[in-house]
Chains A and B, each alone.
Chain A
Amino acid sequence: MSFDWFVLPFSIGALILIVVLISRYILWVIKLSRADRRKSWRSVFSFKLFQAVWEVFNESLLHRKIFRVNALLGWMHMTFALGWFLLIVIGSVESKFHKEKVFNMPYDPIFLRYFEHDVHGFWFAEGFTTIMDTILLLLLVATIMAVSKRFFKWIYGMKRTTKLHPGDQIALASLWLIFPMRFIAESFTAGIYGNGGYLTQTAGDIFATFLPLKSLELGAWWTYSSALCLFFLFLPFSRYMHIPTEVFLIYLRKAGVKTPDNKLTGFSEFETYSCSRCGLCIDQCQLSETTGYDDQAVYFLQKLRRNILQEESSHNCLLCGKCTNICPVGIDITKIRLLKRTEFAPEMLFNYRHYENVIHHDERKVDVAYFGGCMTHLTPKIKIAMTGIFRKLNIRYNFVDENGSICCGRPLKLAGNHMQARDLMQENKRIIIATGAKILVTSCPICYNIFKNEYKFDKIQVLHHSEYLNLLHKEGALKLTPNEEKMVYHDPCELGRMMNIYEPPREILEKSGKLIPVQKEKNFADCCGGSLANLPLSEDNRRKVSKEALTKLLAPSPDILVTACPLCKKTFSNVSDTPVKDIAEVVYERMIE
């Protein structure tokens, strides 16, 4: 058995790391719901395990998603992850060849060159050493990239990178040290015993010309081992926690575990700790762009990990979903934030007696129930357009909230008041079902979201008016005369990123006139700034967010700005000189009777 005292730091560090990780993971698994726990056990013995392994390979090692968003960054992450992984795997195989036994000490592959001076034959000299040196070279390049990213982030097309706290800094510094130290230690040994590959041997021979390698060798290996130890000890308290955690996250996802709609579980712990702090979400956030505040996704998650999240931080967000959209790890940041709000929300008691006065008593049986939503009542042109279209096409409809309404419940949910929202929803659902309609059409994406996802109607199809109008047009009931006006379309967050409705509004607009594309579209569209989800945001900053989003939308100088949400319309109207219209208005203007 090969041994030297310098292997101790590495071995102790690794041991502690394993104990910490295992105890944390056990804790989180306990926090899962029973059903989720069952799912996760069961999947160990199923095909899902292979799927998970495949995805771990793709994401945790190859980092495909980061690649897609930012190739340089992807390359860096890939060489680090895959490189290190191969270094360990191939190193283990190599050490087994040398030791000629299957079980050897865990540190053997790490410090092999120190203990094994004899490199003879193809497998050892030209084969393994060449492969191992190549991997080391890639890792050295990755280290240089990582260091340069800290100082020259613009190279990577990033405006901002993540800020570090002390745990991160130590882990980062030790990580930067690990591969250069391995290189130096192996080169020194190679310089003395000639057991290196093309890289380490060449370097070792050069070092030998001017350095007393014999007396420096042991020190170099100590440093290498200590850097590893330091990294392991600080890993659980740093961003690098994501490396082991993401593997489990991927597996749990494959097993079908999710964050439930009403409360956070151990699964969100796995998500939270899987954030690699790649920083891709930072430049997405319009709030941090305009207000310079630092509660965007990555810091929000960091505060969660360190257990220092304040109520204010949980609210300081538009819930626009842009960070979730870009996150390569696929963390549902918006959902975590929303549920965090619930934890802070006070139990409020409401008086619902005024319901009696608003309940709609319309005895006619109709085909379509139209629910404008409270925002639509503030933008009456939309409801005039919709009811106008119904009338002209002789559609039997019932304007459910014509004379006032019960709120759909989503604004309360966005504020974290789930219990109260549930009461509203029950009552509202009853009223809507009473209309006897088969289709529920709403003009408000906020209502649409909750109607579709949480009301769970059995017999009623829920449609946003953009979908409904597009359907009418496709069926031939609705005919349009397009005109020459140039239009741009703004994707509302709730309709786009939250509900994935991108094509219907575009299709019908293309039939109504000239739709010109904008730079940030679909899932990359900006938030209008009007979000109901951020109550602490000052009106001033809200306007700034709106104006910046507007400027980008108006870059192609359209005649009108079209959107499909009363709140977006209202928000943009307040800052725009170019007319802002809802898709329903555009269709109504241009329909042939």
Chain B
Amino acid sequence: MDTNKTVAVIGGGIAGMEAATFLSARGITVYLIEKEDKLGGHLLDWERLFPTMRNGSEVVKFLMDGVKADNIKIMLSSKLTAAEKSGKGYNLRINENVDLFADAVLVTTGYDLFDATKKEEYGYGIYDNVITSADLEKIFMSGKALQTKQGNVPKKIGLVHCVGSRDEKAGNVYCSKVCCVTGVKQAIEIKQKMPYTEVFNFYMDLRMYGMHFEALYKKAQADFGIQFIRGRLSEASEDQNGGIILKVEDTLMGKPLKLTVDILVLLIGLIPAKGSKEVGELFGLKNGVNGFYKTTDQHTLTNSSNVDGVFFAGACTSPKTITNTITDARAAASTVAAYLFNYRSLERKIEQNEDFWLYNTK
């Protein structure tokens, strides 16, 4: 049931791949445009996934199976450089030399990781033994043992939650959703590899909202002896041996706490992607208060944008887990199809509530 419709999907991460798969199933030709030389996005850098500890590569393989369809044209190392409305669709230019036409555009530009050097007080990029959660995944992926820069087995490791999230000063007031459970997962993985290392998680709140997350957290405490300390890290400094001295206000005990760890892991949050900004400017897409793309409605029109014929899927509209991203990608495919084939479902309207009342912009 081939149709003569084409859709350009911008971004070949989880959302882009899964949306492409479901669009192609409806007989739509899909250009899957990815700026890197591989599909898979951030998932490629993640070893095991919460809460099941499944290997990320298995999910990548599943997604790859989907995009093998004939009517999906995968364009790697490709960057959208210009877009121009043409009739109901768009003329798009890729890498300054390739032009193509799409009846609709699905933006799946995802997120970037917070740049931890912005929180200078935590010492990332200054002290050798301060790393980020993303760095830790890379170490896990490499199969190498986790060591201090001095080559020692760490006896104490601290993980700090909410780095660059829920932080007004950093300009990101929202919760990144995935880091809490990543912190619990990584703490367990450390313990699995190094049972004699003490692991501390410093958190403001623990957000174990997803299915099985709470169980993972319980296990972390009961079976792995990971210590969860409620309090925000105020500053980190380095001692003569490369240890990291932490100053934390323990908000449960109500007193300041000082602790030296051998490695400090910063659980960095998700921020709006640079790529989203560039693509947004090409199409005139609106951003919400937090800098992620603004969807037409908070509850219902969650894949529609302010521009006719341009849609969203995945973490470009807000931080999302893999599960949520895959679900959202399929929903977006369905929304794009509704647009292309004039389903009545897209004609529904809903009154808009301004979401700004939530923020103190005075």
Contacts and interface: CB of A to CB of B under 8 A. Distances in A.
Contact of B120 (A291, A538, A570, A575): A570
Interface string B300-344: 000000000000000000000000000000000000000000000
A520 to B, nearest CB: 24
Given A379-B120, A380-B121, A573-B120, A538 B360 contact: yes
A380 B361 contact: no
Given A540-B359, A540-B360, A379 B121 contact: yes
A311 interface: no
Contacts of B362: 291, 538, 540-541
B68 interface: no
B195 interface: no
B149 interface: no
Interface in B168-215: 168-171, 173
A173 to B, nearest CB: 36
Nearest to A402: B237
Interface string B103-145: 0000000000000001011010011000000000000000000
B235 interface: yes
Interface string A552-593: 000000000000000001100111000000000000000000
Given A378-B120, A538-B360, A540-B361, A574 B170 contact: yes
Contacts of A570: 120
Contacts of A541: 361-362
A575 B237 contact: no
Nearest to A377: B235
Interface in A366-384: 377-381, 384
A539 B120 contact: no
A31 interface: no
Contacts of B234: 378
A380 B171 contact: no
B198 to A, nearest CB: 22
A184 B279 CA distance: 69
Contacts of A479: none
A541 B235 CA distance: 25
A574 B171 contact: yes
A381 B235 CA distance: 13
Query: For chain A, which range describes its interface: under 10, 10 to 19, 20 to 34, or 35 or more residues?
Result: 10 to 19
A539 B235 contact: no
Contacts of B236: 380
Contact of B126 (A380, A539, A569, A573): A380
Given A538-B360, A540-B361, A380 B123 contact: yes
A511 interface: no
A543 interface: yes
A539 B289 CA distance: 13
A574 B118 contact: yes
Given A384-B126, A570-B120, A378 B171 contact: no
Contacts of A573: 118, 120
Contacts of B359: 540
A378 B360 contact: no
A378 B121 contact: yes
Interface string A376-404: 01111100100000000000000000001
Nearest to B123: A380
A574 B169 contact: yes
B237 A380 contact: yes
Contacts of B235: 377-378, 380
Nearest to B360: A538
B126 A381 contact: yes
A381 B360 contact: no
A381 B130 CA distance: 14
A541 B237 CA distance: 31
A489 B151 CA distance: 40
Nearest to A293: B362
A523 to B, nearest CB: 28
A111 to B, nearest CB: 55
A564 B286 CA distance: 38
A377 B170 CA distance: 17
Contact of A377 (B121, B168, B360): B121
B171 A543 contact: yes
A541 B362 CA distance: 7
Contacts of B126: 380-381, 384
Contacts of A538: 360-362
A291 B360 CA distance: 13
Contacts of A543: 171
B343 to A, nearest CB: 40
A539 B168 contact: yes
A381 B121 CA distance: 9
Nearest to B169: A574
B233 to A, nearest CB: 11
Interface in A275-325: 291
A570 B121 CA distance: 9
Contacts of A291: 362
A115 B286 CA distance: 76
Interface in B231-284: 234-238, 247
Interface string A171-192: 0000000000000000000000
A569 B121 CA distance: 12
A381 B168 contact: no
Interface string B40-69: 000000000000000000000000000000
Interface string B5-28: 000000000000000000000000
Contacts of A377: 121, 235, 237
Contacts of B169: 539, 574
Given A377-B235, A380-B235, A574-B118, 9 more contacts: A378-B235, A379-B120, A380-B127, A380-B238, A381-B120, A539-B168, A540-B359, A541-B361, A543-B171
The 3 closest A-B pairs by CB, nearest first: A539-B168, A378-B121, A379-B120
5 contacts: A377-B121, A378-B234, A384-B126, A539-B169, A573-B120
Interface of A: 291, 377-381, 384, 404, 538-541, 543, 569-570, 573-575
